[in-house]
Structure formats: structure tokens, C-alpha cells
Amino acid sequence: MPETILVCGAGGFIGGHFVRRLLAEGRGNVRAVDCKPLEQWYLRHPEAQSVQSNLRTFDTCQNAVRGATVVYNFAADMGGMGYIESHKADCMLNVLINTHLLVAAREARVRRFFFASSACVYAADKQATTAIMPLKESDAYPAMPEDGYGWEKLFGERMCRHFREDFGLETRIARYHNVYGTHETYHGGREKAPAAICRKVAQAKISGVHEIEIWGDGEQTRSFTYIDDCLHGSELVMDGSYADPVNVGSSEMVSINQLVSLVEDIAGVKLRRRYKLDAPRGVRGRNSDNTLIQMLYGWQPSTALATGLATLYPWVYDRVSRLG
């Protein structure tokens, strides 16, 4: 009998794409769960069993896990820097999801459990300049993560570790670095930098007001991971034998100003830049060290940022133009 794969947070950006990948690969029966009403899911697949359920309570986690052999946990209340800096308590409450899912998975004797973590777990003092050294997995300690969301993710990683050590539940952890792609949030307050910049450039081009607001001075640096690379890396981590956290992130570091220039080139427009220095901006610099994932699996994310943006921008532009 094919195994039942539970994907939590399947109504979100990464979870929805991951369900698509599992179905395309014929990996098993896919049960997709998310707290949002089905009509609000970012991607919905008729071949999957789609269930609306709030996984913050233990009984709903028990119901979701029942009969599953593999669990992927992408479920989280989160967003870009503008959201997580102003919703720290909401982000911390994600701990209920992972804790209840781990307990339910242990009870159900699932074969393997995947936790989607974040580069927000990394210590702030290692991200204080734009020209930082790439962050290797051990740089999460001594602990000084992003307040709220980062602490919750780091706690989730430790929970996975101890459930593996104490209860024998095989857990795997991927630390994502700024994942982007089509079908992600691009407006409303939860969007991340690539989609936000694409939206702002599209609005400027459509309106004819050739100006863009940039949060901070634009010199803060990041790496951005295309969704297809994220999915492939996640499968490698989940199927591999290495149980500690592994970076799944691009090592192509750019400044926000460079990100804007890339989108301008794709859009064929040049905009005046207005800097909002009091806006949320996060750490000064962050980039992924991919030594470990290369050593373990002979792979690292390889989609160039310009290539990924060339797919994302037209998708965002089309939706912005429809909104008027």
C-alpha cells in the first residue's frame, strides 16, 4: 500500500508547492492540511485530500496525523520582516503547532517528521554588517535569534532533536533562507522582499509614477532561494540520514538595492528611490553557507536570482494589473 504523507501548512506558499511536487512524483497519498478556508489556499490540488484544520490544538493534530507515515510541517503564522517584527506573540504561538504535531506523530508511530525552520534562528551578532561571512549551521549558537519568530523556530529545532533522542522519532530539519517564487504573498503586509519589490516596480510601471519606496538604506544584504531549489533541498534533507539542521538557501548574496535593480531590468524601467529609514529592516546582513549540504548530498541551490525573478515578476505584474 502507498504511504500516506501529511503536509501541514499546505494552503501556504511553500506547502502548496510541495504538495504539487509530491503528487507529480507519485510519492504516495497526500493529505494536505491548513487552517485557512480551502478557497483561500495559495495552491490547491484536487488529487490531494485537502482538509481545513487549525493545528494549534492537540486533538486536531491527532486527527491530521492519523494513518500518516510521513509528516512535513510547513505550518506557521509568519510573513516578511514587516510582519514578524510587529507580530512576535503570534509567531511564538507557532510553538503549539510543532509541539502538538510532534506528540501526535510519536503516538501514531510515524516513520519520519520534517520541520521547516528558518535562517531567523541565527545569532544576531553574526549578522551585524553587510559584508558578513556566510552563516554555517553551528552559528545558531550561542543563541541570539530573531526575536519572536526566530526563537520559536530555534525552540522547534530543539524539540525535534529531543523527540529523536528520547523517543526515537526520526526528525529532519531544513533552515530556509528567504524562499520566493510564484503563488507567494505579494501584498497585504506579509510579503517578503522579492515579491514586495516586484509589486512596487509593477505598480510604478502601471501607474507611470516612476518612484519606489525602499525599507532602510537598501544596503542590507540577503540571499534569496527559488522555490524549486527549496523543494529539492527539502526532499534531500528529509530522505537523508543526517538529523541535525541543514541550510537550504542560496549563497548568492545581494543588497536590497541590487535586488531592486534586477527587477527594474526585468521590467524595463528605471525608478527614483525613496528610502524609508524607520521601516523594519531586520539584520544587516545574512547569507547561507552551503558547505554542509554540499558535503552531505553533493548539491546546493543553484537558481540564479535573476532567473527566479524573471518568473516571479510577470506573475506579480499580472495580478497587480488586474487589481488596477
Query: Which residues are annotated as catalytic?
Result: 149
Q: Minimal CA–CA distance to 320: which of 200, 194, 192? A: 200
Which of the 8 DSSP states describes residue 147? Answer: T
Contact 305, 250 (CB under 8 A): yes
Q: Are strands 272-276 and 211-215 parallel, antiparallel or unpaired?
A: parallel
Angle at 222 between CA 218 and CA 226, to 5 degrees: 120
Q: Answer positive or negative: Cα dihedral of 286, 291, 296, 298.
A: positive
Which of the 8 DSSP states describes residue 134? Answer: P
Q: Minimal CA–CA distance to 3: which of 51, 70, 63? A: 70
Q: H-helix or E-strand containing 211?
A: strand 211-215
Angle at 142 between CA 279 and CA 289, to 5 degrees: 70
63 Rama class: left (phi>0) / alpha (psi -120 to 50) / beta: alpha
Contact 219, 275 (CB under 8 A): no
Q: Are strands 221-223 and 253-255 parallel, antiparallel or unpaired?
A: antiparallel
Please name the residues in contact with 12: beta carbons below 8 A apart, sequence gap of 6 or more. 34, 41, 42, 74, 75, 76
Three-state SS for 261?
helix
